A and B are shown apart, each in its own frame.
Chain A
Amino acid sequence: MGGYKQQPGASKGEVRRDGKRVAGKQAFPPPGSGGSRPTMAPRDLAFIPETVGGQEPKPAGDHIHDRDRTGTTVGKPMALVDSNAKVTGQAWYGDDVRLPGELIGKILRSPHHYARIKSIDTSRVEALPGVVAVATGKDAPHRFGVLPVTKDEHAMAVEKVRHVGDLVACVAAVDEATAIEALSLFDIEWDVLEPVFDPKLGLEDVDEPIHWRGKYHLSRTNVQKRVFQEFGDRSLVNTPAASSHGSWTMEGVHHGFTEPHAVVAHWDPNGRLQLYTPQQVPHYTHRALSTVLDVPMHQINVVRTFVGGGFGGKSDPFPHEMCAALLAREAGKPVRITFDREEVYWINRGRHPSHINVKMTADEAGRISGFDIDALIDGGGFASFGHVTSYYNGVLATAPYELGSFHYTGARVWTNKPASGAMRGHGAVNTRCAVEVGLDEMAEQLAVDPIDLRLANLLPPHSRTISGFRITSNGMREALEKVREGSDWDNKFRQLPLGKGIGIGCGFFISGSGLPIHWDPKNFPHATVHIQVDMDGGVTVHTGAADIGQGSTTAVAQVVAEVLALPVEMIHVRSHESDTSPVDLGSYSSRVTFMNANAAIRAAIGIRDQLLKAAWEMLGYHPNVLVLNDRRIYYKHDPSIGVSYLQALHKAQEDTGALIARGAYRSPPMGGVHKGAAAGLAPAYSFSAYVAEVDVDVETGRVSCTNVWAAHDCGKALNPLAVKGQIIGSCHMGLGQVISEKMVYGRTGHLQNANLLEYKIPSVHEMPHVEPIIVESSDPEGPFGAKEAGEGPLLPILPAVVNAVYDAVGVRLRDLPLTPDVVFKGIEKAMKKDKIDDPEDLPCPRLTHGPLQPTLVERANLHRERDRLRQRSEDTSAYVNGVLFGFDPNVPLEDQVDGWRDADEPLPEQLAELGFAGRAWLKKEQRHMGGDA
């Protein structure tokens, strides 16, 4: 076998004349040789960009990281680095942490929807043999919350309980049976209050609002957050050529992750808290623990266990984490708390139940003249991420289309139900579904193909949305074209027989929230990565990126391996402990690959440069002419002139020992100045387009989704296998929300289906065949061009299915999920309207192209070329939302149009005509009412 050896034999070291080695002058033991691959693999030119001499096509143009590519891992499908641990059952999840002498903690939960706690008597609990520690709200009076602006949670109820299942007290005992028994021994006096369940009632003044925000409280309502955003030329909506008005009800859904919450707390011999928890965002837990326990952060080590699925449901700091720490502190022993499934539903943080009204208009040229969205979202008992959700429900609908105007009113209200929070596709999913279905309806009115309507209205790459978001790379057009072709759309749409349908939906999502919640990005980076390389050659990467199954550890390992040209097995990612990992914001807002991998690339470049410098010294060739490839560094014109990676490493280590480097990522300054301008800002955005095919049983209303063509623009697929997995998984999760999943609150306000039998996550039988299609628009700021692929792919499946159901049976449905009874009701209504007895006689929608169709096709063709040039930066002219309507991108729009709005508060004359949630603006804050100053 030929090739350059990685370990160029044992250099003999200094040898005595008798042939023995000189003591202390042995050859450096050859560690970490090539293993089973002792020789260098040839450079994999197929995975080195054509822009730097390789063969990988770069249709979107060159990328700043192209010169850091070595053809090692990026773009190659690989199993996740932690998959062995998972498939062999060796991964340690929350409940797998068993410390010696552990006690079992159990939480007493409220049986009331809303009640004041008059007194808690724990004496009978404490008297029970086997009970070691008891805690109630009094033991932890400090508030916490995931967002600094809305800290409204306690470890346990301090004054009031706010939903059935809210935490009241907790107990640690020698075993689970004792702990359960102890829960029945609390003597509590309640003052039961009048609960609110219907979010529509949340806008009304009540005697006892669920929370009290003092001078910022909105009158005496249960409104937690209200939002108003208006941009553009509102006069454009007055004479529409087509319009759609949809009033939607979307039920709340839960993440349905496999692993229930579990936590182990232990105060070590030095009095430091060691907390093991499956957290997506260990850093927030770290902060909240410090606040609640009154212990400095450096005296707490948060250990993220393997996370058995999170999807946003494990990203809040949780009260049970505080409980475990409190109990362990009191008991002086480790305490483990593991949730039952029902407790998982009671802590919830799932997608908000929503009432969304969308009015959309298009003009005679088939341009979208206005989006008018009103979203009332049901936050349940606590704020959680709701402040952000309230914005996302509107502002994440401002792309991928160019809009004439945009108007959004949103309100999030408290109700006496488990708290809603962040869930995959955070805030964007429901509105996205509503607007995509509205587009379909407008396309029908305009007698055009809905895909062509979309293609003729897309924002180009390197542009700005109406709300001021900076769009960089944009693969929306390619995604639409690919699913159109893949699904044979042109031969199916409006042509399938009754009961069979095909539908389109698009998506747009942030690739990392631009604003770190707890600090200004100017002062501190979003993500930091440390790399250390010792004499064995193994590369240890310290990062706080929380792998929740999405593969962030793999992504980090991959980019480091890519830059250093090392097999990925040589990269060891340490990300579990806050003691060793640099501060990172964790896994939310689809930020990890973008931010953390960027930081990792920078750190890896730091190591690489030290290695190249050493090689320069050894070879005499400047780093500019050296090539890194498979554990070897050599002169680019003659591979025989080179050193192995280990030789270079040992040379570099001569004076310093282990090599160390760090890299950080911070987002560039961006966005507008209006209130809420930061919400929805991201350094890049992902785009997706799905086509779904469904079968609808017209007699029963049962919908089954059979095929999905799912194109997602993730910038650059670092690991195509993982991207495909995310796309398919997103389809499954989104499909659940659109066909079967809902949190059912019954007549009495109780959650009726807090279990996996009655909470209907689709089974394998309901899963369609998904054809994942990866679109690579090469984001200029993404790591090797990558953007997110974890959340955005969920969005389009909902509208694609709803639109496909319309195509199949001609019924527009706006109540999610589309359970058989909902669909059947729609069919019955249509039958009644058309006076049909047999559902088999329902008319199917058909399309005859109108005069606008060729206009749109022509415009889309022009835009295709426009987009190509802009994507490749061959056209660098300014482009902002509004150019399609004839405005000059180089002059502020408000100077060009009378009445161009860029507003975060309604005008007085608008107050009378606001949507339902918008009516929150009719209320005054306490400080303006002279109350509660």
Chain B
Amino acid sequence: MLMPPFELHHPKSVDEAVALAAQLMEAGEGFDWVAGGTDVLPNYKWRINTKPHVISLAGIPEANSISSTSIGCTVTLDALIQSDESHPLLVEAASKIASSLIRKSATVGGNLCLDTRCFWYNQSEDWRRSIDWCHKADCGTGADCRVIPNQNTLCVATYQGDLAPNFMALEASVVLVGPAGERTMPLTEFFELDGMKKNVLTPGEFLLRVELPEAASARVGAYQKLRVRESWDFPEAGVAASWVPGDIDSLRVASTALESIPKLHDAEVSAHLKANDRTVDVKALAQAVQKSVKPVNNTALPPAYRRKMVRVLTKRALTALGDLR
């Protein structure tokens, strides 16, 4: 399959990258960021929303640093797994992503900014032409959504990143840089409920690094991933949970691969703790988490099944945390 032509840029610093983006924006030229390329480039080969310019972040040393509290966007999943500084929950989650070969290229930033996925969308150009395009890649036709027809406002493509719920469970925040400068926000605020918009990144802005609070190292966590095969597959549902052992109020549960964004289930957890006098009834909490998600039919397994499995995954993740009291 032929890669469509694009111009590849290699900035050597954050400033240079941001300046380059600003310059392209000024010229009215479209562009994408690329780190490992394991998500962007396959989509390019399928000619999905391709741009004439691609800015590589690979040459920016600052983006490639890793410590226990800060992980640069171009740190590969493999490096994350190998590093002694990585939180065990992140190691567990990263080890379940794709295959060992892909993890050598795929990056932390790329995984967080993963394009949402949908079997009406992740298809070649010929294929998408045969369905007369879709809302997310409409090729200027204003095509309807193929998952839920007759709603042309929101894209319901599924976010299938594995790291996000785990970072959420560890209270991570993200640092974004762009022409307007640098800003930091909790990861939970990074995503936007629209499969097309995906996140809050503004034009010219990119995710530079993820930061973890010092306290994260005290947390223990577990990640449960549902997939057909133990390798390659994106999650069909994923639930991460963590807590500081002994501190029930620190419990965090987050899920992925069920909707267009990953979700921190803080409302369900706090309501549950309140109702249960600050103890956890694993079964009931799992049920509550299941009830709060609404998957749609656009991945390999049927949505009704995926939703049921959220309960099982949550139960297993919580059980792995030990005695929740």
Contacts from A to B (Cβ < 8 Å): 109-112, 164-165, 176-177, 180, 340-342, 699-700, 740, 744, 746, 748, 750, 752-754, 757-758, 760, 762-766, 819-821, 824-825
Q: Produce 1/0 per residue, B201-224, CB < 8 A to A.
A: 000000000000000000000000
A764 cross-chain contacts in B, Cβ below 8 A: 231
B230 cross-chain contacts in A, Cβ below 8 A: 763, 765-766
A820 & B2 in contact (Cβ 8 Å cutoff): no
B130 & A760 in contact (Cβ 8 Å cutoff): no
* B228 on interface, CB distance cutoff 8 Å: yes
Query: How many Å lie between the Cα of A145 and that of B101 in the bound state?
Result: 41
Evaluate whether A740 and B2 lie within 8 angstroms (CB atoms) in the complex, with A342-B124, A748-B131, A758-B300 already known.
no
Q: Shortest distance in angstroms between A705's beta carbon and chain B's nearest beta carbon?
A: 13
Evaluate whether A740 and B226 lie within 8 angstroms (CB atoms) in the complex, with A177-B5, A748-B131 already known.
no
B231 & A111 in contact (Cβ 8 Å cutoff): no
A820 & B301 in contact (Cβ 8 Å cutoff): yes
A740 & B228 in contact (Cβ 8 Å cutoff): yes
Q: Which of B5, B228, B302 contacts A760 (CB 8 A)?
A: B228
Query: How many Å lie between the Cα of A757 and that of B129 in the bound state?
Result: 21
A740 & B301 in contact (Cβ 8 Å cutoff): no
Known pairs A180-B2, A750-B130, A763-B230 / 4 extra A-B pairs, C-beta < 8 Å: A165-B126, A341-B1, A342-B126, A762-B229
14 A–B contact pairs at CB < 8 A?
A111-B126, A165-B126, A342-B123, A342-B124, A740-B229, A750-B131, A753-B300, A758-B122, A758-B300, A760-B228, A760-B233, A765-B231, A819-B228, A825-B305
A766 cross-chain contacts in B, Cβ below 8 A: 229-230
Evaluate whether A820 and B127 lie within 8 angstroms (CB atoms) in the complex, with A700-B312, A746-B119, A760-B233 already known.
no
A821 & B302 in contact (Cβ 8 Å cutoff): yes
B127 & A342 in contact (Cβ 8 Å cutoff): yes
Query: How many Å lie between the Cα of A729 and that of B287 in the bound state?
Result: 42
B129 & A111 in contact (Cβ 8 Å cutoff): yes
Q: Shortest distance in angstroms between B122's beta carbon and chain A's nearest beta carbon?
A: 8
Q: Produce 1/0 per residue, B109-131, CB < 8 A to A.
A: 00000000001001110110111
B66 cross-chain contacts in A, Cβ below 8 A: none
Q: Shortest distance in angstroms between B103's beta carbon and chain A's nearest beta carbon?
A: 14
B124 cross-chain contacts in A, Cβ below 8 A: 340, 342
Q: Which of B119, B146, B305 contacts A758 (CB 8 A)?
A: B119
A110 cross-chain contacts in B, Cβ below 8 A: 130
A748 cross-chain contacts in B, Cβ below 8 A: 131, 146
Query: How many Å lie between the Cα of A872 and that of B122 in the bound state?
Result: 60
A180 cross-chain contacts in B, Cβ below 8 A: 2
CB closest chain-B residue, reference A108: B126
Query: How many Å lie between the Cα of A176 and that of B1 in the bound state?
Result: 9
B232 cross-chain contacts in A, Cβ below 8 A: 757, 763
B274 cross-chain contacts in A, Cβ below 8 A: none
B305 cross-chain contacts in A, Cβ below 8 A: 820-821, 824-825
Query: How many Å lie between the Cα of A102 and that of B234 in the bound state?
Result: 39
Query: How many Å lie between the Cα of A391 and that of B300 in the bound state?
Result: 33
A699 cross-chain contacts in B, Cβ below 8 A: 312
A765 & B127 in contact (Cβ 8 Å cutoff): no
Query: How many Å lie between the Cα of A362 and that of B311 in the bound state?
Result: 44
A820 cross-chain contacts in B, Cβ below 8 A: 226, 228, 301, 305, 309
* B308 on interface, CB distance cutoff 8 Å: yes
Most buried by A among B126, B146, B230, B305: B126
Q: Shortest distance in angstroms between A761's beta carbon and chain B's nearest beta carbon?
A: 8
B229 cross-chain contacts in A, Cβ below 8 A: 740, 760, 762-763, 765-766
CB closest chain-B residue, reference A180: B2
A109 cross-chain contacts in B, Cβ below 8 A: 126
A752 & B119 in contact (Cβ 8 Å cutoff): yes
A164 cross-chain contacts in B, Cβ below 8 A: 127, 130
CB closest chain-B residue, reference A112: B130
Query: How many Å lie between the Cα of A371 and that of B312 in the bound state?
Result: 42
A753 cross-chain contacts in B, Cβ below 8 A: 119, 300
Query: How many Å lie between the Cα of A740 and that of B285 in the bound state?
Result: 31
Query: How many Å lie between the Cα of A757 and that of B232 in the bound state?
Result: 7
Q: Shortest distance in angstroms between B301's beta carbon and chain A's nearest beta carbon?
A: 5
CB closest chain-A residue, reference B132: A111
Query: How many Å lie between the Cα of A874 and that of B70 in the bound state?
Result: 80
Q: Shortest distance in angstroms between A369's beta carbon and chain B's nearest beta carbon?
A: 40
A111 cross-chain contacts in B, Cβ below 8 A: 126, 129-130
Query: How many Å lie between the Cα of A752 and that of B302 in the bound state?
Result: 13
Q: Produce 1/0 per residue, B145-161, CB < 8 A to A.
A: 01000000000000000
Q: Produce 1/0 per residue, B224-259, CB < 8 A to A.
A: 001011111110000000000000000000000000
Which residues B265-312 have CB closer than 8 A to chain A? Answer: 300-302, 305, 308-309, 312
Most buried by B among A740, A757, A819: A757
Which are the 9 A-B pairs with shortest beta-carbon distances?
A765-B230, A821-B305, A763-B231, A111-B130, A164-B130, A699-B312, A752-B119, A340-B1, A763-B229
A760 & B309 in contact (Cβ 8 Å cutoff): no
Query: How many Å lie between the Cα of A627 and that of B309 in the bound state?
Result: 70
Q: Shortest distance in angstroms between B325's beta carbon and chain A's nearest beta carbon?
A: 23
Query: How many Å lie between the Cα of A60 and that of B215 in the bound state?
Result: 74
B123 cross-chain contacts in A, Cβ below 8 A: 342, 754
A763 cross-chain contacts in B, Cβ below 8 A: 99, 229-232
B2 & A824 in contact (Cβ 8 Å cutoff): no
Most buried by B among A700, A764, A765: A700
Query: How many Å lie between the Cα of A765 and that of B5 in the bound state?
Result: 37
A819 & B301 in contact (Cβ 8 Å cutoff): yes
CB closest chain-B residue, reference A821: B305
Query: How many Å lie between the Cα of A760 and that of B99 in the bound state?
Result: 14
B228 cross-chain contacts in A, Cβ below 8 A: 740, 760, 819-820
A165 cross-chain contacts in B, Cβ below 8 A: 126, 130
Query: How many Å lie between the Cα of A752 and that of B308 in the bound state?
Result: 23
Query: How many Å lie between the Cα of A137 and that of B79 in the bound state?
Result: 54
Query: How many Å lie between the Cα of A748 and that of B128 in the bound state?
Result: 12
Q: Which of B2, B127, B231 contacts A177 (CB 8 A)?
A: B2
Query: How many Å lie between the Cα of A110 and that of B131 in the bound state?
Result: 11
Query: How many Å lie between the Cα of A746 and that of B299 in the bound state?
Result: 11
Query: How many Å lie between the Cα of A111 and that of B129 in the bound state?
Result: 6
Query: How many Å lie between the Cα of A820 and that of B229 in the bound state?
Result: 11
CB closest chain-B residue, reference A183: B126
B308 & A824 in contact (Cβ 8 Å cutoff): yes
Query: How many Å lie between the Cα of A748 and that of B234 in the bound state?
Result: 24
Query: How many Å lie between the Cα of A700 and that of B119 in the bound state?
Result: 23
A700 & B226 in contact (Cβ 8 Å cutoff): yes
CB closest chain-A residue, reference B316: A699
Query: How many Å lie between the Cα of A754 and that of B2 in the bound state?
Result: 17
Query: How many Å lie between the Cα of A819 and that of B305 in the bound state?
Result: 11
A758 cross-chain contacts in B, Cβ below 8 A: 119, 122, 300
Query: How many Å lie between the Cα of A760 and that of B309 in the bound state?
Result: 20
B302 cross-chain contacts in A, Cβ below 8 A: 821
Query: How many Å lie between the Cα of A760 and that of B299 in the bound state?
Result: 12
Query: How many Å lie between the Cα of A810 and that of B201 in the bound state?
Result: 51
Q: Shortest distance in angstroms between A821's beta carbon and chain B's nearest beta carbon?
A: 4
Q: Shortest distance in angstroms between B113's beta carbon and chain A's nearest beta carbon?
A: 19
Q: Shortest distance in angstroms between B139's beta carbon and chain A's nearest beta carbon?
A: 11
Q: Shortest distance in angstroms between B136's beta carbon and chain A's nearest beta carbon?
A: 16
Evaluate whether A760 and B129 lie within 8 angstroms (CB atoms) in the complex, with A340-B1, A700-B309 already known.
no
Q: Shortest distance in angstroms between A226's beta carbon and chain B's nearest beta carbon?
A: 31
Q: Shortest distance in angstroms between A788's beta carbon and chain B's nearest beta carbon?
A: 30
Query: How many Å lie between the Cα of A744 and that of B126 in the bound state?
Result: 17
B99 cross-chain contacts in A, Cβ below 8 A: 763
B2 cross-chain contacts in A, Cβ below 8 A: 176-177, 180
Query: How many Å lie between the Cα of A176 and that of B2 in the bound state?
Result: 7
A744 cross-chain contacts in B, Cβ below 8 A: 119
Query: How many Å lie between the Cα of A746 and that of B302 in the bound state?
Result: 12
Q: Shortest distance in angstroms between A752's beta carbon and chain B's nearest beta carbon?
A: 5
CB closest chain-A residue, reference B99: A763
Q: Shortest distance in angstroms between B299's beta carbon and chain A's nearest beta carbon?
A: 9
Query: How many Å lie between the Cα of A820 and that of B119 in the bound state?
Result: 19
Q: Shortest distance in angstroms between B22's beta carbon and chain A's nearest beta carbon?
A: 31
B131 cross-chain contacts in A, Cβ below 8 A: 748, 750
Q: Shortest distance in angstroms between A142's beta carbon and chain B's nearest beta carbon?
A: 27
